[in-house]
Amino acid sequence: MAFMVKHVVGGQLKNLTGGLTEEKPEGEKSEAAAQGMTQEEFEQYQQQLEEEKQEREAQFAQKKAERATVRTHFREKYRLPKNELDETQIQQAGDDVVLPTELAKMIAEDNQEEAHKQSMLGQLSNIQNVDIDQLKDKAQATLEDLKKQTENCSLM
């Protein structure tokens, strides 16, 4: 309401006085003065803000590339279709994209576990009620019996 009155009456008063008094609107103050700094200090401040923003953006891009690397790894591992967005993010970050050490350790452990599971003994350990040590003993005993029989064989 006060704005409306000032706008209507202020415009009429300005016309009556002929516009002799120049009022500086509040919005025309320089940003540096509004911050309580000199122009040089304000420029340095703006430059520092811009540098910090660029650093944050670079760190963010690096994190995005690391995440994309992880997703790509799992896509390859489970034979899922590739995603071009992930490849683009990795390329934008450059060649310095490395998996975090903790994650690399986890992946190495997973690979070892899978290699063990894929081996014959790993498959046998999945079968319930099977004693692997007993199986090894029986296999060795069978081999020894075969060796003894071949030694006693007159043909060989």
**DSSP per residue, 18-32:** TT-SPPPPGGGS-HH
What is the value of pTM for the model shown?
0.48
Instruction: Tell the residue number behind the tokens 């420029």, with chain if given.
Output: 43
Residue 100: C-alpha distances to residues 12, 42, 59, 66, 86 (Å): 70, 39, 14, 8, 17
pLDDT top residue among 117 and 56: 56
Token digits for 140? Answer: 């060795």
**pLDDT for position 51:** 97
Closest CA to 69 of 103, 42, 41: 103
Instruction: Render pLDDT for 12-51 as a digit per residue (tens, 0 to 9).
Output: 656 666 555 555 555 556 777 777 888 888 899 999 999 9
Q: Percentage of the chain surpassing pLDDT 90?
A: 12
Radius of gyration of the chain, Cα coordinates, nearest whole angstrom = 39
Cα separation, 54 vs 57, whole angstroms: 5
Cα separation, 6 vs 26, whole angstroms: 15
Q: Which residues contact 42 (CB under 8 A, 6 or more apart)?
A: 30, 31, 32, 35
